[in-house]
Amino acid sequence: MSPLLLVLALLAATVVMFAINRPRLDAVALIMLVALPLTGVMTMSEALAGFSDPNVVLIAALFVIGDGLVRTGVAQRLGDWLTAKAGRSEVRLIVLMMLVVSALGAIMSSTAVTAIFIPVALRVAASAGVGPGRLMMPLSFAALISGMTTLIGTPPNLVVDAELERAGAAGLSFFSFTPFGLAILALGIGYMVLVRRFLGGAAAPTASGRPSLADWIGQYGLAGREARFRVTERSPLVGRTLGDLRLREKFGGTVAGIERVRRFGREMIAPGAGAEIMAGDILLVDLPARDRDAPKLCDAYALEERPPSGGYFSDRVDEIGMAEVIVPPTSGLVGETLVTAGLRTRYRLTAVGMRRGAGDQEPELMRESLRVGDTLLLIGRWKDIERLRADVHDLAVIRVPAEASAAPAAPGRAAPALASLALVVALMISGIVPNVQAALIGGLVMGAFGCVSLGSAYRAIDWKTIVLIVGMLPFSVALQRTGGVDLAADALRALTAGAGDRAVLAALFAVTAILGMFISNTATAVLMAPVAIAFAQETHVSPYPFAMIVALAASTAFMTPVSSPVNTLVAGPGGYTFFDYVRIGAPFSIVVMVVCVAMAPWLTPL
């Protein structure tokens, strides 16, 4: 059997295994990684070269950058913004997310945007009660479309631009692709809104049916007790400790946290009795009689009252949380009151609610002695709550809210995380260094500022995705070496002989898009751009519509999970199968082809 037939047979087998989802995708990639060298088309070293491919390293680095945005709470805040703007409207969520993703993807790698927005989309889905599958494919569609909006949106655009210059034609401008991209984006948003019901079911319930912070705020009557005060420069508290405030004795309130501005962000200080108060600090106070006592507190200590969030500090969920604990029989706190128990000194946590047995919370219980079986609601920093979970002698944690799983591991580092991302984007736009180097620099900067750690960086990389991409890269080399690509180009010339210009553009688009289903879109552009420009020169027409069609078709990678790394990234979080991409992506690819074939001769005249 000829080498070409062997490679095509392996390619067909890969497509079949992907289609039936047996074995899983990364296992198929490993099988092909081993099988391709057996054909004699390449060596094992060449098959493994994908592990050193810059794009593979770039994807790994972007996983780390995305994790840094999650650990610092940036992704959470962006998700909260999207949720707040969209409300409970799934349509508005899809529209806003696709607009934001496509705008960012126009100036940086679409793969980078996808890796960064996956945790954002997952958080938005959880907050809005929407299944992740409803947002993952719109995310990937928007990222792919973003590559059609500017010259630097995706590598195939630059490949086609370079090929035009090599052929003696002027290159494309930065915004040559923009009219195509905007039209396709509008169609893509409308299409996703229409087909969203086929993208997944309802959101999964929170883990173990855990309550949310909102549930506890309602159950313990905390909504009207939130107060915030800024310590002014003239306050007598400046330079003194929190114990000197004697807030519980004088006003019946307690400090749940101290927010302090640092050079590279803000920090939440534990409210221990020995915590020093500084000018500019924001005191987060649980004040049962806020309307009555807040003005008195401001007058007594020269404080400035800040407006409450209305959700009992829920806007600070990235730094402070709650936990329900029970007093076990072995506890040394039995017989103590909440004042004498010294919870803030021992655990750096503050009790803001109490239940006895199955009854409702009663305010007077906060002044009584603790008994075995009493349930306390504590508020404080997530890391202090986590530390308490390891101590079951005096207090046993029985429940933490659903928000605990999404709590940032590096709160207060949002500013350097955003600065690192801005640096990566600036380096990618300027082209001073290669994209992969820009991403590695961004990851190192995040590490230097404590946004990520080495351990979290390794855990952040989705190694199954990396293996899948590496395993598929050798097919590109194999098809080139065995003449499979040349055979396709010759067939295109034969099929379009004597056909009209639009028919040729449609055929060129279809061949490029189909070829891109099996090899990278960059490799597809490298192979098809010379064919398109040579065809234009032979027929004495402008090469620009043909070159533009190749670039746009190379980005029309909606039809399989391996058509683009963008699709591969969202396949797992979205829970998609191979056929999900086919049934959703194929119709839209046809729509894109019709639009591009109609617009190309008009915007880039023949």
Average pLDDT, 10 consecutive residues per value, the chain (606 residues):
87 78 81 92 91 81 81 72 77 91 79 76 76 90 92 81 83 87 96 88 47 84 88 92 82 86 74 87 89 88 85 78 87 85 84 74 67 88 83 81 69 84 84 86 93 86 79 78 74 73 90 80 78 80 91 91 80 83 93 94 78
Three-state SS for 297? helix
Distance CA 273, CA 344 (A): 7
CB 558 within 8 A of CB 589: yes
Q: What CA–CA distance (Å, rounded) separates 225 from 310?
A: 9
The side-by-side arrangement of strands in the sheet containing 282-286 is 265-269, 254-262, 282-286, 226-231, 303-306
Q: Look at the block and give the residue holding tokens 């799983």.
A: 405
Would you state the CATH architecture of domain 211-400? 2-Layer Sandwich (3.30)
Q: Evaluate whether 548 touches 180 at the Cβ level (below 8 Å).
A: yes
Number of neighbours of residue 497 by Cβ within 10 angstroms: 8
Mode of pairing for the β-strands spanning 396-399 and 303-306: unpaired
Positive or negative: CA dihedral 203, 208, 209, 213: negative
Phi, psi of 377 (to 5 degrees): -105, 115
| Of 474, 483, 471, nearest in space to 4 by CA | 483
| pTM listed for this prediction | 0.63
Amino acid at 132: P
Q: Is 137 helix (H, G, I), strand (E, B) or coil?
A: helix
What are the strands of the beta sheet with 320-326, ordered from one edge? Answer: 350-355, 375-381, 320-326, 396-399
Q: Assign 533 to helix, strand or coil.
A: helix
- The token pair at 27 is 């296992």
Q: Which tokens belong to 69? A: 């945005």
Q: Which of 29, 27, 35 is nearest to 10 (CA)?
A: 35
Structure tokens at 97: 């997310």
pLDDT of residue 50: 82
d(CA 581, CA 584): 5
CA distance 416 to 451: 8
Confidence (pLDDT) at 298: 92
Beta-carbon contacts of 449 under 8 Å, excluding residues fewer than 6 positions away, are 264, 413, 416, 417, 420
The closest alpha carbon to 231, from 286, 276, 273, 287, belongs to 276
Residue 488, pLDDT score:
66
Give burial (CB, 10 Å; 0-12/13-18/19+) of 473: buried
Q: Rounded CA gap, 496 and 333, in Å?
A: 86
Domain regions of the chain by residue span: 42-203+421-472, 211-400, 479-603
Residues 113, 115: Cα–Cα separation, whole Å: 6
Per DSSP, the three-state class of 365 is helix
Q: Which amino acid type is present at position 556?
A: T
Helix (H, G, I), strand (E, B) or coil at 321: strand
- Closest by alpha carbon to 550, among 522, 518, 512? 512
CB neighbour list of residue 489: distance below 8 Å, 6 or more residues apart: 527, 528, 531
| Contact call for residues 187 and 198 (beta carbons, < 8 A) | no
What is the rounded distance in angstroms from the CA atom of residue 327 to the CA atom of residue 393? 9
22 membership: H or E segment, kind and range: none
Q: Which amino acid is at 321?
A: G
Whole-number Å distance between alpha carbons of 225 and 326: 23
CA of 242: how far to CAs of 65, 224, 249, in Å?
Answer: 37, 23, 13
pLDDT at 75: 66
Which pLDDT score, from 0 to 100, does residue 558 have? 92
What torsion do the CA atoms of 201, 575, 122, 218 make, to the nearest 10 degrees?
A: 40
